[in-house]
Amino acid sequence: MAALRPLLIGKRYLDQTRKRLAVQLARMGRNMDQPTPWVEDNALVVRDFAADVQIVYALELKEGAQLVSHGMMKGWGMDADRLHQRALANLDRAHGEIGIKRVGRLPWLSVIETQDGYAASRVLLHWRWAELTLTLGEVLILGMPTQDVVVFTATIEPQKLEQLQDTVETVERHQGRPVSRRLFQWTPQGWVEFDPALQQAEQQRPQEGEQQHAAEGKMVEAAAKAEADVPRQAVQAEAGDQARQEDAGDKHRDQQGQQPFQHGQEDNR
């Protein structure tokens, strides 16, 4: 069990492996009365990862890696979940340290390159990548073109992502043990296929929220200003009325003051 490892593999490459295995099993089962159960037991244990990438399991033996079948798993008294957890624990113990190198001409790009066949499998050590986000940032976009090469970046600049995509496609095309030409994004819940449109929408959402809050703030400010203007206008109106009343009183007193003077003039006449 200490030799058990998870192995990331491209679906296209896995389909080819299954076809070769099916041919071998068919040849070996020709002389059997009931070959079906035997063939089923020899089918590979496969688990989905994301997009076109899947997980198989291998025993890392001195004579070479041996893929794990359902019959082997049953013989160990395990189900698929227990097998997966045991393989992850072994991988973390044997290859847990994620050795990152910067690409000289592209300092924003990092690479994991090994000769053990488990560079891509290290992507499954999610807690290790969670630790990396503390220093690199929560945005991690990754490509795993082969089982021996992983490239990733902590930027979402379109031009740099295009360079990352070109790098992934070039490595996948020219090196052995291919996995995928697609890009993947780290999330707290697990790796997902990278969607540029979705990433752009998530970036726009906070900006739209800020604009909405700013608009709401202006509306609240305008309402508060209007509400504050009401008593001020009332005070101004009241002051105006009082001023007009005082002016009217002064005018009335002036008229009363002038009348005796006029009557006096008439009497003198």
Report domain extents, the chain. Answer: 4-95, 101-196, 197-269
Share of the chain above pLDDT 70, in %: 67
Q: Is pLDDT of 123 > 70?
A: yes
- The stretch 44-61 carries a mean pLDDT of 94
CB under 8 Å to 117, separation ≥6 — which residues?
7, 65, 147, 148, 177
* pLDDT score recorded for residue 227: 58
- The stretch 174-184 carries a mean pLDDT of 92
* pLDDT score recorded for residue 269: 38
* Residues 158-178: tens digit of each pLDDT: 999 999 999 999 999 998 889
* pLDDT score recorded for residue 261: 35
* Residues 217-237: tens digit of each pLDDT: 556 565 555 555 555 555 455
Nearest-angstrom CA–CA distance, 32 and 39: 11
Residue 244 three-state SS: helix
* Residues 141-163: tens digit of each pLDDT: 999 999 999 999 999 999 999 99
* Residues 191-211: tens digit of each pLDDT: 999 988 766 655 565 555 556
| Chain centroid, CA 182 distance in Å | 15
Residue 33 three-state SS: coil
- The stretch 45-71 carries a mean pLDDT of 92
pTM comes to 0.70
User: What does each C-alpha distance from 250 to 23, 246, 255, 260 come to in angstroms?
Assistant: 118, 6, 9, 17
The answer to whether residues 56 and 14 touch, using CB atoms and an 8 Å cutoff, is: yes
Among candidate residues 95, 138, 93, 146, the one with its CA nearest the CA of residue 120: 146
pLDDT-based confidence at residue 264 (cuts at 50, 70, 90): very low
* Residues 10-44: tens digit of each pLDDT: 998 888 887 877 666 566 655 655 555 555 778 89
* Residues 79-89: tens digit of each pLDDT: 999 999 999 99
* Average pLDDT value for the chain: 79
